[in-house]
């Protein structure tokens, strides 16, 4: 993708997996890459014409060339393997298949950055043609590790942006770069991308697993979804029909959604719960109450859906009626949009970190569609919506159009924290006369767009919406609130993303969003007995943190004050006299108390 002088730069990053096509690190992957590799002569001399050699040292007219092997052992070449090159706008160049020697070459390729697709796998870095020359220069047996190239992509790492710049995500500290990445090995025709997580639907207490390949679904909302895409409501109807469950439903034009009136001839206030993450590991989220239209909620792999009844459907209907009346008279107008960013002080928040504090409020914001995920927009990525469908991401883009924001930058992920996402994430916002706020790693922006208020959503719905803004279809809701969040324990920051400690810390923080804080597990330094303590504050409030013996006796008050800046807070406690035994950290936040235990040893 060209980097152009626009206020909005969409950074397109998707994950597909090791092909042997270059490698960002995870500690566990680095350890795995140290496994013993059988020694063999390279390039091999007995596998056909110059297999694994630099074709372009002789064929000077070639723009791209390389050898595809049967598998990672490189014991044999792979003939008739499909090879394609893909540009940032999604256009594809399909080369002839590999020849009888496993080789592929072309002198007819446009110069510039391309992804390389071999068989079913696509690279996660962008190859600059012709400067990077033959694929065989880097994709060698055992990989091209060196003193500089020490890192390898985790299996679920997303593809890096089209300028090969890792700092769009690893912004601060800028710890990752393309030059650190090693290839895992040769171009491998048998490499496979990760499987999509499974989906399921629960109706009247029965669970039905859903595989879209077993259905032919025509959406009931063709005004919203592009051909081939459908909603969670469509999935409910399809599963019910297949399993002889009779569902009576109607479309309410005044509220622009469908409602189920009867299931198997039994009337009820039927509604739904969902979680996009449970197929890859967050089953608690299926219990969250919702207030989002189910026939506009995009189905994607991994989602769990549960039909429920007995919730406050009257409140949902009343809010929808008011919302659509506003849309009918004013268009996509949102009465109140608030952006509130107040990150914690981290390493002094130097200029390059872009950890700025800023609050902006806007009223009666007119939102226009930008078709980032709509048909007609040139991109590598899926386009599930019809042109003109408006999403929560369009709120920020419209504020940029209106000169209220100077920059809106998004990054596309297929997997995020090892969960299937397939969406854009907002990573940077620019504010006139203030500067740029930039996400980095586990710290960034979250949002809620809905009716009611942030403190009280219709149906008492959970504020942990967990639907990315680019697929959150909007009409004219009451508000949109964007804020800063920091997930994870800072004492794990030396452990690369992808480790089990890091991921469990993120998941724990995420599940604690509703109560406004989370106390992390203390880390004891065995040499000196110092206890490192951290907590995450998601909303400003009064906080007290103290240390107690197992008997309940309080031995220290570490903090007792109101905290305004959200994010990670770090404290330490070193007892004047180390008395071995069990202790607890007790944290009080508003009306909540949380405790964490630790052990002091000699």
The larger pLDDT score, comparing residue 562 to residue 499, is at 562
Q: Are 16 and 159 in contact (CB under 8 A)?
A: yes
pLDDT at residue number 98:
94
Element (H, E) at 27: helix 27-32
Report which of residues 344 and 10 the model is more confident about.
344
For 210-242, how does the pLDDT look when each residue is reduced to its tens digit (9 = 90+)? 999 999 999 999 999 999 999 999 999 999 999
Q: Judge contact between 70 and 78, C-beta under 8 A.
A: yes
Q: What is the pLDDT of residue 442?
A: 77
Q: What pLDDT is attached to residue 35?
A: 53
The whole-number pLDDT of residue 18 equals 31
Task: Write out the DSSP string of 325-340.
Answer: HHHHHHSSEEEEEEEE
Cα–Cα dist 118/124, whole Å: 12
Q: What is the rounded average pLDDT for all residues in the chain?
A: 87
Instruction: Return the sign of the alpha-carbon dihedral for residues 243, 247, 252, 255.
Output: negative
Please indicate whether residue 21 or residue 565 has the higher confidence score (pLDDT): 565
pLDDT band at 520 (very low <50, low <70, confident <90, very high): very high
pLDDT given for residue 37 in this prediction: 66
Strand, coil or helix: 238: helix
Which pLDDT tens digit goes with each residue over 101-134?
Answer: 999 999 999 899 999 999 989 999 999 999 989 9
pLDDT at 327: 98
Output the furthest CA–CA distance in the chain (Å, rounded): 79
How confident is the model at residue 578, as a pLDDT? 84
Highest mean predicted confidence (pLDDT) among 268-277, 393-402, 410-419, 483-492: 393-402
In which residue ranges of the chain is CATH 2.60.40.2550 found? Answer: 513-600
pLDDT of residue 21: 38
CA-to-CA distance for 422 and 349, rounded, in angstroms? 31
Per the model's pLDDT, the better-predicted residue between 422 and 417 turns out to be 422
Is residue 53's pLDDT more than 90? yes
Where is 504: in which H helix or E strand? helix 500-511
- pLDDT exceeds cutoff 50 at 7: no
Question: Does the structure show a pLDDT above 60 at 81?
Answer: yes
User: Quick one: pLDDT at residue 103?
Assistant: 94
Q: What is the pLDDT of residues 351-394, one digit of tens each?
A: 889 999 999 999 999 999 999 999 877 778 889 999 999 999 99
One-character DSSP codes across 537-570: ESS-EEEEEEEEETTS-EEEEEEEEEE-S-EEEE
Residues ≥6 apart with Cβ < 8 Å to 87: 93, 110, 112, 113, 114
For 171, residues 6+ apart whose C-beta sits below 8 A from its C-beta are 353, 354, 427, 438, 439, 440, 441
d(CA 550, CA 585): 10
Collapsed DSSP state (helix, strand, coil) of residue 89: coil
Residue 8 pLDDT grade (very low, low, confident, very high; cuts 50, 70, 90): very low
**Alpha carbon 553 to its chain's center:** 44
pLDDT tens-digit profile of 429-483?
999 999 999 998 778 899 999 999 998 999 999 888 789 999 999 999 999 999 9
Position 572 scores a pLDDT of 93
Q: Tell me: pLDDT of 282 over 70.
A: no
Q: Which residue has the higher pLDDT, 426 or 411?
A: 426
Band (16; pLDDT cuts 50, 70, 90): very low
- b/e code 219-231 from CB counts within 10 Å (16+ = b): bbbeebbbeebbb
Residue 317 binned pLDDT confidence (cut-offs 50, 70, 90): very high
Give the pLDDT confidence score for residue 466 in this predicted structure: 80
| 521, containing H or E segment | none
576: pLDDT strictly greater than 80: yes
Residues of the chain with CATH 2.170.130: 199-311
Give the per-residue pLDDT at 100: 94
* β-pair partners for 563: 541
Q: Residue 569 — very low, low, confident or very high, per pLDDT cuts 50/70/90? A: confident
Spell out the CATH class of 513-600. Answer: mainly beta
CATH number, domain 199-311: 2.170.130
Over the stretch 144-200, which tens digit does the pLDDT of each residue have?
999 999 998 888 888 888 889 988 888 888 888 999 999 999 999 998 888 888 899
């Amino acid at each position: 993708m060209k980097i152009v002088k626009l206020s909005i730069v969409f950074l397109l990053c998707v994950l597909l997996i090791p092909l042997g096509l270059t490698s960002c690190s995870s500690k566990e992957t680095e350890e795995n890459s140290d496994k013993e590799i059988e020694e063999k002569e390279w390039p091999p001399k007995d596998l056909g014409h110059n297999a694994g050699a630099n074709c372009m040292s002789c064929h000077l007219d070639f723009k791209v060339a390389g050898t595809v092997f049967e598998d990672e052992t490189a014991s044999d070449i792979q003939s008739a393997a499909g090879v394609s090159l893909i540009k940032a706008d999604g256009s594809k160049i399909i080369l002839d298949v590999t020849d009888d020697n496993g080789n592929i070459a072309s002198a007819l390729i446009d110069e510039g950055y391309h992804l390389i697709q071999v068989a079913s796998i696509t690279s996660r870095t962008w190859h600059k043609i012709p400067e990077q020359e033959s694929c065989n220069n880097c994709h060698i047996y055992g990989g091209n590790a060196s003193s500089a190239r020490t890192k390898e992509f985790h299996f679920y790492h997303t593809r890096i942006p089209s300028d090969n710049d890792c700092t769009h995500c690893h912004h601060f500290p800028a710890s990752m770069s393309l030059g650190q990445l090693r290839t895992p090995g040769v171009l491998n025709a048998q490499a496979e991308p990760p499987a999509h997580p499974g989906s399921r639907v629960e109706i009247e207490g029965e669970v039905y697993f859903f595989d879209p390949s077993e259905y032919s679904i025509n959406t009931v909302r063709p005004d919203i979804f592009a051909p081939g895409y459908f909603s969670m409501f469509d999935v409910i109807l399809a599963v019910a029909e297949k399993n002889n469950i009779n569902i009576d439903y109607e479309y309410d034009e005044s509220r622009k959604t469908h409602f189920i009136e009867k299931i198997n001839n039994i009337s009820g206030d039927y509604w739904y719960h969902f979680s996009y993450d449970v197929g890859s590991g967050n089953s608690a989220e299926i219990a969250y109450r919702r207030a989002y239209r189910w026939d506009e909620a995009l189905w994607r792999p991994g989602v769990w859906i549960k039909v429920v009844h007995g919730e406050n459907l009257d409140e949902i209907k009343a809010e929808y009626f008011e919302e659509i009346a506003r849309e009918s008279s004013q268009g996509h107008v949102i009465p109140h949009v608030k952006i509130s960013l107040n990150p914690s002080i981290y390493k002094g928040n130097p200029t390059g970190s872009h950890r700025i504090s800023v609050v902006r409020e806007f009223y009666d914001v007119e939102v226009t569609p930008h078709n980032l995920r709509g048909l007609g927009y040139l991109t590598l990525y899926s386009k599930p919506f019809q042109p003109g469908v408006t999403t929560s991401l369009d709120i920020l883009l419209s504020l940029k159009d209106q000169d209220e924001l100077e920059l809106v930058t998004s990054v596309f992920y297929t997997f995020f924290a090892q969960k299937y996402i397939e969406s854009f994430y907002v990573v940077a916002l620019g504010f006139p006369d203030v500067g740029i706020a930039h996400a980095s790693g586990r710290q960034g922006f979250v949002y809620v767009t809905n009716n009611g208020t942030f403190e009280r959503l219709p149906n008492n719905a959970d504020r942990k919406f967990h639907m990315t803004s680019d697929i959150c279809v909007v009409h004219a809701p009451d508000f949109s609130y964007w804020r800063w969040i920091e997930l994870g324990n800072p004492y794990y920051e030396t452990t690369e993303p992808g480790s089990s400690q890091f991921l469990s810390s993120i998941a724990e923080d995420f599940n604690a969003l509703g109560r406004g804080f989370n106390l992390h597990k203390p880390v004891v330094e065995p040499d000196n007995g110092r206890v490192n303590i951290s907590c995450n504050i998601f909303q400003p409030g009064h906080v007290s943190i103290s240390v107690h013996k197992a008997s309940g006796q309080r031995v220290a008050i570490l903090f007792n004050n109101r905290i305004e800046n959200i994010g990670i807070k770090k404290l330490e406690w070193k007892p004047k006299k180390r008395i071995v035994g069990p202790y607890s950290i007790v944290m009080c936040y508003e009306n909540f108390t949380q405790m964490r235990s630790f052990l002091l040893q000699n």
